[in-house]
């Protein structure tokens, strides 16, 4: 089994050289929508969808778009195991750098890219000043819109 989440040329080249029975493409994003994406990424993504035996996506809109390319596609929505993660909240293991932030907290962990709706984050912050918003991850987009709110 060859399992990839990147449709880049080097992965296609590697797939051409390896002997595998099943290719799984875990399509984690609409790569052509990224500001840093290569102009060739859309065609490489299309080719990966065509050659994969099975495709996983998380977003519903991505599922709707990509199911036209490959019928062996499964949507696995993003989610959490609330019971498991809530045990950390109840424990004393809250990191020192956020321990004094008031609750309730709306949190996000991951790269801060152009798919984040910064206007919505600003609206929530201004509409609910009693909530704290914590974003953790490398900023790949200008966060000026949400600074000092």
Distance CA 81, CA 95 (A): 20
Look up residue 139 and give its DSSP letter: B
- Written as tens digits, the pLDDT of the chain (149 aa) is 999 988 889 999 999 999 899 999 999 888 777 666 678 888 999 999 999 999 999 889 899 999 999 999 999 987 777 777 777 666 566 778 888 898 888 988 888 887 788 899 999 999 999 999 999 888 888 888 888 77
Helix or strand or coil: residue 58? coil
Q: Which of 105, 116, 121 is nearest to 138 (CA)?
A: 116
Residue 124's contacts (CB-CB under 8 Å, 6 or more residues apart) are 106, 131, 133
């Amino acid at each position: 089994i060859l399992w990839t989440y990147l449709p880049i040329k080097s992965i296609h080249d590697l797939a051409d050289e390896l002997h595998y029975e099943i290719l799984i493409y875990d399509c984690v994003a609409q790569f052509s929508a990224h500001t840093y994406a290569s102009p060739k990424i859309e065609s490489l993504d299309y080719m990966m969808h065509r050659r994969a035996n099975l495709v996983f996506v998380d977003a519903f809109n991505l599922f709707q778009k990509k199911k036209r390319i490959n019928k062996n596609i499964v949507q696995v929505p993003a989610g959490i195991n609330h019971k498991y993660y809530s045990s950390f909240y109840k424990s004393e293991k809250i990191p020192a750098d956020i321990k004094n932030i008031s609750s309730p907290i709306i949190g996000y962990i991951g790269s801060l890219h152009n798919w984040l709706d910064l206007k919505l984050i600003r609206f929530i912050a201004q509409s609910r000043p009693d909530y704290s918003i914590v974003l953790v991850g490398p900023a790949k987009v200008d966060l000026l819109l949400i600074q000092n709110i």
